[in-house]
Chain A
């Protein structure tokens, strides 16, 4: 086979993925960048250029800065907690106990539950009059509409939903650690904690790095739980409203897709910068064999 036909063949094989990525990811990104420099009318059938107007308006918008702070606050709470708990449960489920696969299924269940259905259950759990949370704690707190608590409710729901998949990824990472390392440590008389600290953690860092990036990007895009659990007539909305929520509202509810596109492009830039920083920092802590 000559090299030319090999290239053709290779491109043909990746074509479905490549085309899918370009059409469903590439084009929307370009389109949303273009949109943010335009003003659209009549459902986007008429567009005219307005330069940086949307961005100028955005940076003067107090609500935008509040939404940005909310989003980052959520990320700062959500990512470390999820990572720590996922690792914790993965290590527990990496031992030989009875009914191991049942536990694994239980922890993975939230991942395959419909987010909307799960959100409705959480709403009932946190309800003021008849919620289980108030019943157990003996309180009469309006968890969902108290600006001080609403964000924590969202973090709890988010962590609950995210542990399953991340635990599975970390579990796979754990099982990839060669047994011989632990055997050698046993011979040297290492304690359980030392084995965890000096073998498990370092060998797990590539997985942890990958999971943290995925978690991080996912967390900046929080939308559905705000929409479903908090809702638009909630007094606590301003203290939890995220950038993606604001994007949805502007694009699809207020019919201002251009302003929405500007919001989402700011998030894109933030994500690119922060992911770049994470990649730069990984040299300091990630161990590849």
Chain B
């Protein structure tokens, strides 16, 4: 009995140790074999890359690109993984220090600096210098967003601007002409009031609590700002910014827009999709989503944003594809990253109407991807745009806290001035803390 026990004990212990040891050696083996394997043998190692994105609407286009890439490189498979925006950065910030970032993934201008300063992203500077990729192929300054201390990290993927979506049917019923480039914010507020029928649950405008597709455009048009030009101070407490915020909130008080609670129960874009909103600001990335609604299909279109006191406001943002510095198959990841930045990938993106491709000269295909909609306004408005105000270490912090404060004003607990002043204080504190 005693002997048996001891034997069992030793055997089990041995087995556990053996398992642990094999698990460890497995990990390191696969790391080295990917470097040596490709060179020493002709038959290329089968590799599966993970490509993480946050937009489900773009998933089909990204999968189409991945498929074409695998056709050209049969030994590399790509798994497209969608993590919703709400969880994306939480997951990435846990994966970065653990060394488990996906091989290739979407990067946002607001998050880039954190990941680049931590050396979690693989620089592509040497590839650029070797002429493997030409960053001047991409529109305007999009590549420079993903540059830090002279190192390049990102291959520009797309850009987006904001437009005014309107429901033609509701305009026709009221006998009001559609929005056009002559509109200003006063006209928007006036028509929104005329189109509202709160008893039927129909409202003229979705004055939602939102930044990029919401009041940031208003603030800029009114001569205000989000951040000062040198990104050292908040622009929320600028009187012109506060005036714009108040004008937007006034539309809720006037009954020209659903209340904040109604827009929390049902997202404003969803209300527009179900024909209950006559007008809404939205981003070019929502086009396919809105157009997928059976209720308003063929009954809606886009116009440019209204003019403000000072100018037409609009936010441009560009995403990039980046690769992890800790990836096990960096050679293959680079091949895929390069393909994602190619004209062909841009064409697939454009034709499938997923996003406005960053690759110069491919935007026309995107505009034509939905001929029944006036998508040209998104390209035309690029001239009015201000870049998305990220690009500092403080951005992820203040951007997460901003809606918590602003929702107090939108829900009526504090005044818009108070909220704007609080946001400004909070932003300035966050900026000071990361200096």
Contacts and interface: CB of A to CB of B under 8 A. Distances in A.
Contact of B400 (A5, A12, A142, A254): A254
A232 interface: yes
A130 B258 CA distance: 14
Give the most central of B114, B118, B404: most A CB within 10 Å. Answer: B404
Nearest to A124: B265
Interface string B236-271: 000000000000000000000001111011100000
B108 to A, nearest CB: 15
B118 A235 contact: no
A42 interface: yes
Interface string B406-424: 1110111100000000000
Closest 10 A/B residue pairs (Cβ): A235-B411, A43-B97, A142-B261, A233-B407, A145-B261, A42-B118, A127-B265, A253-B400, A233-B403, A252-B90
A45 to B, nearest CB: 5
Nearest to B400: A253
A208 interface: no
Contacts of A235: 260-261, 407-408, 410-413
B96 interface: yes
Given A1-B2, A254-B397, A42 B410 contact: no
Given A42-B117, A235-B408, A253-B400, A145 B2 contact: no
B6 A252 contact: no
Given A235-B413, A254-B401, 6 more contacts: A1-B1, A42-B117, A142-B261, A234-B407, A235-B411, A249-B400
Given A9-B5, A43-B93, A45-B97, A123 B265 contact: yes
A154 interface: no
10 contacts: A9-B5, A45-B118, A129-B262, A144-B265, A233-B407, A235-B408, A252-B90, A254-B396, A254-B397, A256-B397
B261 A144 contact: yes
Nearest to A12: B9
B253 to A, nearest CB: 15
Interface string A216-245: 000000000000000111111110000000
A238 B96 contact: no
Contacts of B401: 254
Contact of B407 (A123, A144, A237): A237
B407 A255 contact: no
Contacts of B37: none
Interface in A171-190: none
A237 B259 CA distance: 17
Contacts of B209: 233
A269 interface: no
Contacts, number: 87
Contacts of B266: 127, 129
- The SS class assigned to the A binding surface is loop
B203 to A, nearest CB: 12
Interface string B370-409: 0000000000000000000000000011001101101110
Contacts of B1: 1
B260 A145 contact: yes
Nearest to B265: A127
Interface of A: 1, 5, 8-9, 12, 42-45, 123, 127-130, 142, 144-145, 147, 231-238, 249, 252-256
Contacts of B84: none
A255 B397 contact: yes
A145 B94 CA distance: 31
Interface residues of B, number: 37
Contacts of B264: 144-145, 231, 233-234
Given A127-B265, A235-B411, A252 B93 contact: yes
Contacts of B406: 233
Contacts of A127: 265-266
B388 to A, nearest CB: 19
A255 B401 CA distance: 12
Nearest to B276: A129
A9 B5 CA distance: 8
B201 interface: yes
Nearest to B13: A12
Given A129-B265, A253-B90, A253-B400, A43 B201 contact: no
Interface string B160-202: 0000000000000000000000000000000000000000010
Contacts of A249: 400
A42 B396 CA distance: 13
Contact of B413 (A123, A147, A252): A147
Contacts of B400: 249, 253-254
Contacts of B408: 235, 238
A249 B412 CA distance: 23
A147 B120 CA distance: 42
Contacts of B265: 123, 127-130, 144
Contact of A234 (B5, B90, B114, B411): B411
Give the most central of A123, A231, A234: most B CB within 10 Å. Answer: A234
Given A144-B261, A145-B264, A253-B90, A5 B403 contact: no
A152 to B, nearest CB: 16
Nearest to A238: B408
Nearest to B403: A233
A252 B396 CA distance: 11
Contacts of B261: 128, 142, 144-145, 235
Contacts of A42: 97, 117-118
Give the most central of B93, B260, B265: most A CB within 10 Å. Answer: B265
A8 B9 contact: yes
Interface string B84-99: 0000001001101100
B410 A44 contact: no
Contacts of A254: 396-397, 400-401
A147 B262 CA distance: 16
Give the most central of A44, A128, A145, A255: most B CB within 10 Å. Answer: A145
Given A42-B117, A129-B265, A142-B261, A232 B403 contact: yes
Contacts of A43: 93, 96-97, 114, 118, 120
B411 A236 contact: yes
Nearest to A237: B404
